[in-house]
Amino acid sequence: MENKKLAIASDHAGYGLKNFLADHFRKLGYEVTDLGTDSEKSCDYPVFAEKLADFIISGGADLGILCCGTGIGMSIAANKVPGIRAAACSDTFSAKYTRLHNDANVLCLGARVVGEGLAAELADIFVTTGFEGGKHARRVGLITGIEKREK
């Protein structure tokens, strides 16, 4: 099952890749919401990670894609928002199995790590792969339990 509503955001390092992927998915018929940034001017990636994560949680999109230099900073920031399971991926196996087994809802890509062709392939796999459920649903539930832990 394909998710047709996507949100995408980046910092300055991922700006070009974000625009490339937004165009790629629009051409494939996806509804893409671009949440910024809107230039290569230096900016703070956590602002855009949080903005996209909140948009996903509010139901604005089914899945999200975040782009920065490595994908790692964005994934760390986005994962601070309860309900977000963001994964930095740079290979096809991880992009597939983070959806199948982890029910990840945000893909994080590093513009300095993957080129446009591989990024498109990873993102295509991510958005067209569904969650397998079963024993993995129990494990995702355990992750949700950690999120809800009272301090």
Residue 96 to residue 7: CA distance in whole angstroms: 19
pLDDT digits (tens, 9 = 90+) for 120-150: 999 999 999 999 999 999 999 999 999 988 6
Q: How many CB atoms lie within 10 A of CB 147?
A: 13
Per domain, the residue ranges of the chain are 5-147
pLDDT digits (tens, 9 = 90+) for 2-49: 568 999 999 999 999 999 999 999 999 999 999 999 999 999 999 999
- Strand segments, DSSP code E, in the chain are 5-10, 31-34, 63-68, 86-88, 106-110
pLDDT digits (tens, 9 = 90+) for 57-114: 999 999 999 999 999 999 999 999 999 999 999 999 999 999 999 999 999 999 999 9
pLDDT of residue 149: 83
CATH of domain 5-147: 3.40.1400.10
Residue 83 to residue 138: CA distance in whole angstroms: 15
Taking phi first (over 0 means left), then psi (-120 to 50 degrees means alpha), and beta for anything else, what does residue 29 get?
A: left
pTM of the model: 0.96
pLDDT of residue 1: 40
Which residues are catalytic, by number? 68, 101
pLDDT surpassing 60 at residue 151? no
